[in-house]
């Protein structure tokens, strides 16, 4: 069935559109976009499914370039089916899945498995990210060429750093063949070992081992230097510190081929969330200080940080309801990311268009995928947001299997009410 | 009365609560000097010692304190339990609750475990040491010992020497001593100083000679031998050379200074044997006072009025 979305505020940064108008969807593709200035043409509405979007934002479906869908190997935490449903609920129509599954996505057979699963059971588009090194061991390069051919769009050992600088150098060189980004989890393991939260006075008073900002920044600096050396495409994952923002800003000013992402928790929370040994606030890299949060916001504002990704890391309650030291790290992020991003808009940190760029267009461009726009002929991946809707986060209602969020009970404003994936409509109210 | 059903740490206590525990302990100390060292106060209550880390003195002290109060005591030691079969901490705790425990005395290598248990258990949870967070009853017995010699805590100069970073005893003592108005000095190499500790009202010294001058109380804390070779200090010999509490160095403190150590002692590592055994040492007195403190804590948390 063809669909007409009427009278919404259409925002498509890729084509510099921001105006009230209609979008016509035919056969899962965007047929036409008309805003008032161009004059909305009369459609034969009786043959169409009409979605009234008056007062709503109508934007390109969000693209998450950093999510853990857990399948294969950890289906008790999440599956491709539940993870992609959670994505849609959160307004995401495309998800890039990280390779730290079991077995690891470090070969073409695994990539094909994920894509087949996504095709048969997934609710939204899934683009796999392959491992940089075999079994994520950081020792020898994985078969990037064959994985790329099978459908991987980038490479990462996320969850672990590539500690060996020579291997990282070669990864940045070798991936140039495929023009695929190397997504770096920056963590000096010698400095972070045993650490479970940010290092500082709070870690001292909680008696928990801390991870200094330097553990991240040293690796950000190293990878920037290696990117300069090789000309390879470097993308820094989950930036959490003031120093990292500064290093990336300087690198960009010097013309180095680097992009960066942060996650909602790094601009919404400080280490204080850990107080009381709250394992739902345990995440790697750890939540930092007010100073870091301000620097992240500044980095988002001035374009140093290109992308807001979720680092969606669903865990079973048994992995969280336990000793802080041994609890799993990560936050189930797909279903709160957009509303937390909108908070930056309400606070005046970002413009609405900027936010949409960082959650849709920019990740599409970095990953080289044909998403993030409402252009005619593009897949009908569209998110409709009610910007006035106020709600309280309730993890019990997540579609993700992972209920691990430090945002439970938060009062937020702005929520996707309808998500359209390849022309299929999901309504959330 | 104490505000909480649990004793999680000194951080969570007010100065008044600390004083209440110390005063109550004096009463129990009298009991311990009697011919018959047992009172019926908590008859019918059950105490479970849940120790996930090796311990001799703390576990024995809690066991004896509980028995002196006529409770039934169960020692749950991990190598014999279902934990080695992979049972989760939560399941273990709930099982113990189902057996009818009124008190759970918990020691664990992870900070925050007592806090976690306190949220899921109806029983009173008593922290007997959690990771590098706190060891509240040790600090309370240290305060009790200090005040029995010095008659007050306020204004005293207390020097704590050793591995402050990994010491829950040091942490609890810092909180307790500063809450009661003592002046705390920390003496250790910068590699063993926890970040941001200066935010607490302490003075930090990397020279033992400077830090110990004029101290009323000198407390050495244990160097865990497994820290060797991890880069915190080059060798035990070098450590003793710089930070070992010797008789010569002790002479820089006040003449009537007392020497304390939470035990177990590494002789000739953090403390010279002759100092540990010397006339200023109150190390064994600390152990005895531990009983009275733990009786007081059990009694105050029980809510029983006599």
Across the range A194-203, mean pLDDT stands at 96
Task: List the single residue in B with minimal CA-CA distance to A199.
Answer: B195
What pLDDT is recorded for position B230?
Answer: 79
User: What are B177-227's pLDDT values in tens digits?
Assistant: 999 999 999 999 999 999 999 999 999 999 999 999 999 999 999 998 776
Across the range B43-51, mean pLDDT stands at 95
**Of the candidates A33, A58, A6, A60, which has an alpha carbon nearest to the alpha carbon of residue A384?**
A58
User: What are A17-30's pLDDT values in tens digits?
Assistant: 999 999 999 999 99
Is residue A337 a contact partner of residue A264, using CB atoms and an 8 Å limit?
Answer: yes
**pLDDT level of residue A208 (50, 70, 90 thresholds):** very high
- B32-41: b (≥16 Cβ within 10 Å) or e: beeeeeebeb
User: What are A45-97's pLDDT values in tens digits?
Assistant: 567 899 999 999 999 999 999 999 999 999 999 999 999 999 999 999 999 99
Write out the CATH class of domain A61-367: alpha beta
In chain A, the N- to C-terminal Cα span, in Å, equals 21
Three-state SS at B116 = helix
CB atoms within 10 A of CB B261: 25
Contact residues on chain B for A321, CB-CB shorter than 8 A: 90
- H-only helix segments in chain B: 15-33, 57-68, 89-98, 113-120, 136-150, 168-179, 208-212, 236-243, 247-250, 273-276, 283-302
User: What are B213-223's pLDDT values in tens digits?
Assistant: 999 999 999 99
Contact residues on chain A for B109, CB-CB shorter than 8 A: 325
A325 touches chain B (CB under 8 A): yes
Please name the member of B113, B115, B194 whose beta carbon is closest to the beta carbon of A204.
B194
**pLDDT level of residue B73 (50, 70, 90 thresholds):** very high
Three-state SS at A324 = coil
In chain B, the N- to C-terminal Cα span, in Å, equals 13
Pairing between β-strand A17-26 and β-strand A3-12 as defined by DSSP bridges: antiparallel
Is residue A162 a contact partner of residue A184, using CB atoms and an 8 Å limit?
Answer: yes
A191 touches chain B (CB under 8 A): no
- Contacts for A260 with CB less than 8 Å, ≥ 6 apart: A235, A236, A239, A244, A248, A299, A304, A305, A306, A307
Is residue A327 a contact partner of residue A279, using CB atoms and an 8 Å limit?
Answer: yes
Instruction: Report the Cα B260 to chain-centroid distance in Å.
Output: 12
Q: How many CA atoms does the CB half-sphere of A44 hold within 13 Å?
A: 2
B197–A322 C-beta distance less than 8 A: no
DSSP state of A361: I
Q: How far apart are CA A331 and CA A5, in angstroms?
A: 33
A323 touches chain B (CB under 8 A): yes
What pLDDT is recorded for position B1?
Answer: 80
Distance in Å, alpha carbon of B225 to nearest chain A alpha carbon:
18
Which of residues B306 and B90 earns the better pLDDT score?
A: B90
| Burial of A247 from C-beta contacts in 10 A (0-12 / 13-18 / 19+) | buried
Distance in Å, alpha carbon of A135 to nearest chain B alpha carbon:
27
Instruction: Give A195-264 as a DSSP string.
Output: --EE-SHHHHHHTPPEE-HHHHHHHHHHHHHHHHHH---EEE-S---HHHHHHHHHHHHTT-SEEEEE-H
Task: List the single residue in B with minimal CA-CA distance to A317.
Answer: B90
**Of the candidates A416, A298, A293, A406, which has an alpha carbon nearest to the alpha carbon of residue A356?**
A416
Q: How far apart are CA A153 and CA A147, in angstroms?
A: 9
Distance in Å, alpha carbon of A271 to nearest chain B alpha carbon:
14
B196–A207 C-beta distance less than 8 A: no
**pLDDT level of residue B125 (50, 70, 90 thresholds):** very high
Is residue B174 a contact partner of residue B184, using CB atoms and an 8 Å limit?
Answer: yes
Q: What share of chain B is helix, strand, coil (3-state, %, to 5)?
A: 45, 15, 40
- State yes or no: cis peptide before B148, omega within 30 of 0: no
B116–A322 C-beta distance less than 8 A: yes
- State yes or no: cis peptide before A103, omega within 30 of 0: yes
Across the range B75-83, mean pLDDT stands at 74
Three-state SS at A273 = helix
Contact residues on chain A for B11, CB-CB shorter than 8 A: 205
DSSP state of A130: B
What's this model's pTM, rounded to 2 decimal places? Answer: 0.94
What pLDDT is recorded for position B53?
Answer: 87
The region that residue B142 occupies, defined by phi over 0 for left and psi between -120 and 50 for alpha, beta otherwise, is alpha
**Of the candidates A234, A288, A264, which has an alpha carbon nearest to the alpha carbon of residue A358?**
A264
Inter-CA distances, A184 with A181, A263, A288, A320, Å: 9, 14, 19, 26
Lowest mean pLDDT among A167-176, A303-312, B26-35, B297-306: B297-306
Q: How far apart are CA B278 and CA B108, in angstroms?
A: 33
Q: How far apart are CA A218 and CA A7, in angstroms?
A: 50
Q: A3-58+378-427: which CATH number, 2.30.40.10, 3.40.50.720, 1.20.1440.20, 2.60.40.420? A: 2.30.40.10
User: What are A245-299's pLDDT values in tens digits?
Assistant: 999 999 999 999 999 999 999 999 999 999 999 999 999 999 999 999 999 999 9
Q: CA torsion angle for B51, B57, B60, B63 (degrees, to 10)?
A: -70
Across the range A414-429, mean pLDDT stands at 95
A223 touches chain B (CB under 8 A): no
**Of the candidates B195, B232, B111, B164, which has an alpha carbon nearest to the alpha carbon of residue A204?**
B195
Which own/partner contact pairs does A39-44 have at CB distance under 8 Å and 24+ positions apart?
A43/A4
A200–B196 C-beta distance less than 8 A: yes
Structure tokens at A14: 């890729």
Task: List the single residue in B with minimal CA-CA distance to A275.
Answer: B112
Is residue A420 a contact partner of residue A25, using CB atoms and an 8 Å limit?
Answer: yes
Instruction: Report the Cα A232 to chain-centroid distance in Å.
Output: 22
Pairing between β-strand A382-392 and β-strand A57-60 as defined by DSSP bridges: antiparallel
Q: How far apart are CA B218 and CA A353, in angstroms?
A: 63
Q: How far apart are CA A394 and CA A339, in angstroms?
A: 13
Please name the member of B109, B116, B195 whose beta carbon is closest to the beta carbon of A201.
B195
What pLDDT is recorded for position A37?
Answer: 56
**pLDDT level of residue A319 (50, 70, 90 thresholds):** very high
Q: How far apart are CA A331 and CA A281, in angstroms?
A: 7
Q: Which of A195, A207, A317 to mutate to test the interface with B (most CBs of B within 10 A)?
A: A207
Report domain extents, chain A: 3-58+378-427, 61-367
CB pairs under 8 A between A and B: 60
**Of the candidates A404, A277, A275, A201, which has an alpha carbon nearest to the alpha carbon of residue B113?**
A277
The region that residue A308 occupies, defined by phi over 0 for left and psi between -120 and 50 for alpha, beta otherwise, is beta
């Amino acid at each position: 069935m063809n669909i007409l979305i009427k009278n919404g505020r259409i925002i498509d940064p890729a084509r510099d559109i921001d105006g009230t108008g209609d979008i016509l969807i035919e056969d899962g593709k965007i047929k036409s976009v008309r805003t008032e200035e161009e004059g909305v043409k009369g459609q034969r509405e009786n043959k169409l499914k009409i979605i009234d979007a008056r007062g709503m934002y109508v934007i390109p479906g969000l693209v998450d370039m950093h999510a853990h869908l857990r399948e294969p190997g950890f289906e008790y935490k999440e599956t491709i089916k539940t993870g992609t449903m959670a994505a849609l609920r959160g307004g995401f129509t495309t998800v890039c899945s990280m390779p730290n599954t079991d077995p690891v996505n470090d070969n073409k057979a695994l990539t094909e498995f994920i894509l087949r699963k996504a095709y048969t059971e997934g609710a939204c588009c899934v683009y796999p990210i392959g491992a940089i090194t075999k079994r994520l061991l950081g020792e020898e390069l994985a078969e990037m060429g064959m994985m790329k051919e099978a459908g991987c769009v980038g490479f990462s050992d996320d969850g672990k750093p590539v500690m060996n600088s020579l291997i990282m150098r070669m990864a940045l060189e070798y991936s140039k063949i495929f023009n695929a980004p190397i997504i770096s989890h920056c963590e000096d393991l010698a400095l972070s070992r045993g650490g479970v939260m940010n290092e500082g006075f709070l870690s001292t008073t909680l008696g928990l081992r801390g991870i200094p900002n330097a553990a991240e920044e040293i690796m950000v600096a190293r990878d920037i230097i290696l990117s300069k050396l090789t000309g390879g495409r470097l993308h820094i994952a989950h930036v959490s510190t003031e120093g990292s923002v500064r290093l990336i800003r300087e690198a960009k000013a010097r013309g180095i081929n680097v992009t960066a992402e942060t996650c909602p928790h790094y601009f919404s929370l400080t280490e204080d969330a850990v107080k009381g040994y709250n394992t739902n606030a345990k995440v790697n890299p750890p939540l930092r200080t007010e100073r870091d949060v301000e620097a992240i916001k500044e980095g988002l504002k001035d374009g140093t940080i290109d992308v807001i990704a979720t680092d969606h890391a669903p865990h079973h309650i048994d992995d969280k309801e336990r000793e802080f030291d041994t609890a799993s790290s990560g936050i189930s992020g797909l279903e709160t990311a957009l509303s937390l991003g909108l908070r930056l808009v309400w606070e005046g940190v970002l413009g609405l268009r900027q936010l949409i760029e960082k959650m849709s267009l920019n990740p599409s461009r970095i990953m080289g995928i044909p998403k993030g726009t409402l252009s005619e002929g593009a897949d009908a991946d569209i998110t409709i947001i009610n910007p006035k809707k106020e709600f309280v986060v309730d993890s019990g209602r997540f579609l993700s299997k992972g209920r691990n969020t430090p945002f439970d009970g938060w009062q937020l404003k702005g929520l996707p009410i309808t998500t359209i994936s390849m022309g299929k409509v999901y309504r959330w109210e | 009365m104490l505000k909480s059903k649990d004793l999680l740490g000194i951080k969570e206590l007010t100065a008044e609560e600390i004083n209440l525990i110390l005063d109550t302990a004096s009463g129990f100390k009298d009991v311990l000097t009697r011919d018959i060292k047992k009172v019926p106060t908590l008859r019918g209550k059950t105490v479970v010692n849940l120790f996930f880390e090796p311990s001799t003195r703390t576990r024995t002290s809690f066991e004896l304190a509980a028995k002196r109060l006529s409770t039934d005591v169960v020692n749950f030691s991990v190598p014999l339990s279902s934990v080695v079969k992979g049972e989760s901490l939560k399941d273990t705790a709930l099982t113990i609750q189902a057996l009818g425990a009124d008190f759970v005395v918990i020691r664990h290598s992870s900070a925050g475990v007592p806090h976690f248990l306190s949220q899921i258990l109806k029983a009173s949870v008593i922290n007997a040491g959690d990771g590098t967070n706190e060891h509240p009853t040790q600090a309370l017995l240290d305060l009790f010992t200090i005040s029995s010699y010095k008659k007050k805590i306020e204004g005293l100069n207390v020097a704590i020497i050793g591995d402050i970073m990994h010491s829950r005893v040091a942490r609890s003592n810092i909180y307790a001593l500063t809450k009661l108005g003592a002046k705390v000095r920390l003496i250790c190499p910068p590699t063993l100083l926890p970040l941001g500790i200066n935010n607490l009202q302490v003075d930090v010294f990397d020279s033992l000679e400077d830090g110990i001058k004029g101290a009323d109380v000198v407390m050495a804390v244990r160097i865990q031998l497994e820290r060797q070779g991890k880069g915190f200090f080059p060798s035990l010999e070098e450590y003793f050379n710089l930070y070992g509490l010797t008789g010569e160095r002790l002479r820089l403190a006040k003449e009537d200074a007392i020497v304390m150590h939470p035990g177990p002692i590494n002789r000739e590592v953090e403390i010279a044997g002759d100092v540990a055994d010397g006339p200023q040492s109150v190390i064994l007195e600390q152990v005895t006072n531990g009983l009275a403190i733990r009786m007081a804590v059990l009694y105050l948390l029980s809510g029983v009025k006599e």
